[in-house]
Amino acid sequence: MLHLLLGRALMRWLDKISEGPSQAPPPNQPDSVEEPVATHDEPTEEPAADPLDWVYPKVQRRAMGSMFEIYLAGTDREAMLAGGEEALDEVERLERQLSHYRDDSDVARLNIHAKEQWVRLEPRLYELLKRCKELSTATDGAFDITAGPLVKAWGFFKGEGRIPSESELSEILNNLGTERILFDDEDHLVYFTNPKLEINLGAIGKGFAVDVAARTLHFFGVDHAVIHGGQSTIYALGEPPSDYPTEIPGPEVTNDETESPSHIPQHSSLPVGWPFEIKDPRDRETVLETVYLKDEALSTSGNYEQFFEVDGKRYTHIIDPRTGMPVQGMMSVSVIADNAADSDALSTAFFVMGREATEEYCQAHPNIRVIMVEESSADIAVTKIGFG
């Protein structure tokens, strides 16, 4: 139906973007693709470019094991592309700094040396670790960046699932916890009080990178954009322009690779913000909720992202750091917060905490919205918090 409203030039542009992801041209290179024009009338010939026409370029890059994409909307194409590329450069820099898979990252260096001596950290990473400790305390240890050794014990670090012995698990449980990370605010120093402590930012790193990317876009004067890191964390900057012409992938609900765009076109009578559909993890045709985001983030943690099965039982990659066991019975948790580091960390935490503890947390933090999908005997149980 949307197509009927659009001019020929825009139709060709839409065809071009629907061919699949394509790298945006470098900012200073002329672009041969026609720009979309005012979308309501039906032009009979190619319109002349107007400097105030809205344009909707997209940039993307593979980083942190996912495809990061930025959908931009505004009138200054060159400035938006420059901001978009710089935002993606920041994401790459953060990957080099935060990854526990790289021997040369700051996190790897911290894991080796902080048990022997105080280690000085770059201020942004220092603040992130402090936020992680706060979130750990606020979630009674359900979110815990020191759960890295548990993730390894269950085989998720190398992607080869295994069931560890009870003694292996209790040995690990005796040696983790963010109370074992000490901070020196004056000099940005960190020290681990336990030699077996090891941090893993897998549950917050992508969200943090999305926040940094959003701040970079803002610095470059971009007022309307959506950024996502592999669809598990999305940040919506400003509002969508009316008649925003393309579809943006929403949260992924299975590990099936086929495309499932779930941003839906905005209509003027609907609430303000970029709309996204949250779908049923068993059936992606069923929409559980349409959410509207404006200067807000949406993260989803799911039992379908990484898992292995033994004797028909699913062992997922999200582990309760209090018991050492992968969480059972939870399918997906989507969280909306005002920044992506928090939404990312909290989606993992609420996955571990379950319904009651999540409701309690949200009573104390009314700005947080949650959609939780649990397995129940024959059906699923959907809990919505903060949706009125």
Q: Which of 169, 236, 318, 371 binds ligand AMP (CB under 6 A)?
A: 318
Query: How many Å from the N-terminal Cα to the C-terminal Cα in the chain?
Result: 31
- 203 near ligand AMP (CB under 6 A): yes
- Number of Cα atoms under 13 Å in the Cβ half of residue 237: 26
> How many residues belong to the site for Mg ion (CB under 5 A)?
4
Stretch that binds Mg ion, among 106-114, 129-137, 210-218, 338-346 (CB under 5 A): 338-346
Q: From the CB of 307, what's the least distance to ligand AMP, in Å? A: 10
Looking at this protein, which amino acid is placed at residue 197?
Answer: L
Q: From the CB of 383, what's the least distance to Mg ion, in Å? A: 18
Q: Which is nearer to Mg ion, 74 or 148 (CB)?
A: 148
- 348 near Mg ion (CB under 5 A): yes
- 281 near ligand AMP (CB under 6 A): no
User: How many Å apart are CA 61 and CA 271, to the nearest integer?
Assistant: 31
**How many residues are listed for the chain in this entry?**
388
Q: From the CB of 201, what's the least distance to ligand AMP, in Å? A: 8
- 348 near ligand AMP (CB under 6 A): yes
Secondary structure of residue 194 in the 3-state scheme: coil
- 344 near Mg ion (CB under 5 A): yes
User: How many Å apart are CA 344 and CA 161, to the nearest integer?
Assistant: 23
Q: Which is nearer to ligand AMP, 262 or 347 (CB)?
A: 347
| Tokens 């960390």 -> residue | 345
Distance (Å) of CA 353 to CA 98, 276, 308? 25, 25, 21
User: How many Å apart are CA 72 and CA 67, to the nearest integer?
Assistant: 16
The full DSSP string for 65-97 is: TEEEEEEEEBS-HHHHHHHHHHHHHHHHHHHHH
Q: Of 83-142, which residues contact ligand AMP (CB under 6 A)?
A: 142
Q: Which of 177, 214, 344, 370 binds ligand AMP (CB under 6 A)?
A: 344
Alpha helices (H) along the chain: 8-18, 77-98, 106-113, 123-138, 148-153, 166-173, 205-219, 340-364
Q: From the CB of 349, what's the least distance to ligand AMP, in Å? A: 7
The pattern of x and - marking residues 200 through 219 that bind Mg ion according to CB under 5 A reads ---x----------------
Q: Which does 177 bind (CB under 5 to 8 A by kind): Mg ion, ligand AMP, none?
A: none
User: How many Å apart are CA 227 and CA 83, to the nearest integer?
Assistant: 12
Q: From the CB of 342, what's the least distance to ligand AMP, in Å? A: 12
- 198 near ligand AMP (CB under 6 A): no
Chain residues binding Mg ion by CB under 5 A are 203, 344, 347-348
Residues making contact with ligand AMP (CB under 6 A)? 142-145, 147, 151, 156, 200, 202-203, 232, 301, 305-306, 317-319, 321, 344, 347-348, 352
